[in-house]
């Protein structure tokens, strides 16, 4: 299996942080069959990591171009050779009112510009406790993925909202079961890559990555420390 390990720095890290972070990767031995991607704040996307890690944007506009002050379009990302964008992260949904429909429009923009969206889905604690995870995810999948997309054009990241930044995760059995469910529901697109996100740490990464339907992880907090992120990448082995 090939793996994708993604770091979401969120609104953290300046240029000095970027430079010292990637210096720590100069002698790092990357596992085979593994893409490692870091999503920093947008102005850092024009800098070189100096290692095998590529960069991703944390969002983009659903519009192609024009009078949308403050937005970032797919075209500028393509011109910087950016190949991935995180879309529909729960923080975008919660604080910036992003809907599944908006995520779909953004994903279509990305795909049209040869950028692979990492589409985030996940249930709230209330939905989890009410055992509504599958129906919530099914709706997110059907509304957020562009209809004509194929499996090699996008990635799904399953991130239970209650696991993000909390130190809590579903059980390993729940993660595998939910990923299997997502794989079944997206089979019409082909074999879709499905990442797990939410409190991935050096001490749980190996177990999560060993599950049959887990193709990688999306890491927030732990990705800000190069040592921790390296331990998570190495857990692929």
Active site amino acids: 89, 159
Span between the terminal Cα atoms of the chain, in Å: 11
Q: How far is the CB of 164 from ligand PGA (least distance, A)?
A: 4
User: What DSSP assignment string belongs to the chain?
Assistant: --EEEEEE--S---HHHHHHHHHTTTT--PPTTEEEEEE--GGGGGS--SSS-EEEES---SSSSSS-TT---HHHHHHTT--EEEES-HHHHHHS---HHHHHHHHHHHHHTT-EEEEEE---HHHHHTT-HHHHHHHHHHHHS-TT--GGG-EEEE--GGGTTTS----HHHHHHHHHHHHHHTGGGSS-EEEEESS--TTTHHHHHTSTT--EEEESGGGGSHHHHHHHHHTT-
Residue among 73, 113, 199, 204 that touches ligand PGA (CB under 6 A): 199
Nearer to ligand PGA, 11 or 148 (CB): 11
Contacts of 225 (CB under 8 A, 6+ apart): none
Nearer to ligand PGA, 40 or 221 (CB): 221
Nearer to ligand PGA, 76 or 128 (CB): 128
Contact call for residue 198 and ligand PGA (CB under 6 A)? yes
Q: How far is the CB of 148 from ligand PGA (least distance, A)?
A: 27
User: Which residue, chain included where needed, has tokens 């970032």?
Assistant: 72
Contact call for residue 220 and ligand PGA (CB under 6 A)? yes
Q: How far is the CB of 45 from ligand PGA (least distance, A)?
A: 18
Contact call for residue 197 and ligand PGA (CB under 6 A)? yes
Q: How far is the CB of 151 from ligand PGA (least distance, A)?
A: 22
Residue among 118, 195, 218, 236 that touches ligand PGA (CB under 6 A): 218
Contact call for residue 200 and ligand PGA (CB under 6 A)? yes
Residue among 88, 117, 160, 221 that touches ligand PGA (CB under 6 A): 221
138-177: contacts with ligand PGA (CB under 6 A)? 159, 164-165
Residue among 3, 5, 8, 100 that touches ligand PGA (CB under 6 A): 8
Residues interacting with ligand PGA, by CB under 6 A? 8, 159, 164-165, 197-200, 218-222
């Amino acid at each position: 299996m090939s793996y994708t390990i993604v770091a979401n720095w969120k609104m953290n890290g300046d240029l000095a942080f970027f430079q010292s972070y990637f210096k720590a990767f100069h002698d790092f031995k990357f596992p085979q069959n593994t893409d490692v991607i870091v999503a920093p704040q947008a102005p850092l996307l024009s800098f070189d990591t100096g290692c095998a890690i590529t960069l991703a944007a944390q969002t983009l506009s659903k519009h192609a171009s024009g009078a949308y002050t403050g937005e970032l379009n797919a075209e500028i990302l393509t011109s910087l050779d950016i190949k991935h964008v995180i879309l529909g992260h729960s923080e975008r949904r919660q604080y910036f009112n992003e809907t599944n429909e908006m995520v779909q429009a953004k994903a279509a923009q990305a795909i049209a510009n040869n950028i692979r969206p990492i589409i985030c889905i996940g249930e709230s604690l209330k939905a989890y406790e009410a055992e509504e995870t599958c129906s919530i995810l099914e709706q997110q999948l059907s509304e957020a993925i562009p209809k004509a997309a194929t499996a090699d054009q996008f990635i799904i990241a399953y991130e239970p909202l209650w696991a993000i930044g909390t130190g809590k995760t579903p059980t390993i059995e729940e993660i595998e079961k939910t990923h299997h469910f997502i794989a079944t529901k997206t089979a019409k697109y082909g074999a879709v890559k499905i990442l797990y996100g939410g409190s991935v740490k050096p001490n749980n990464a190996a177990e999560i990555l060993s599950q049959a339907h887990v193709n990688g992880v999306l890491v927030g907090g732990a990705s800000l420390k190069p040592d921790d992120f390296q331990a998570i990448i190495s857990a692929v082995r």
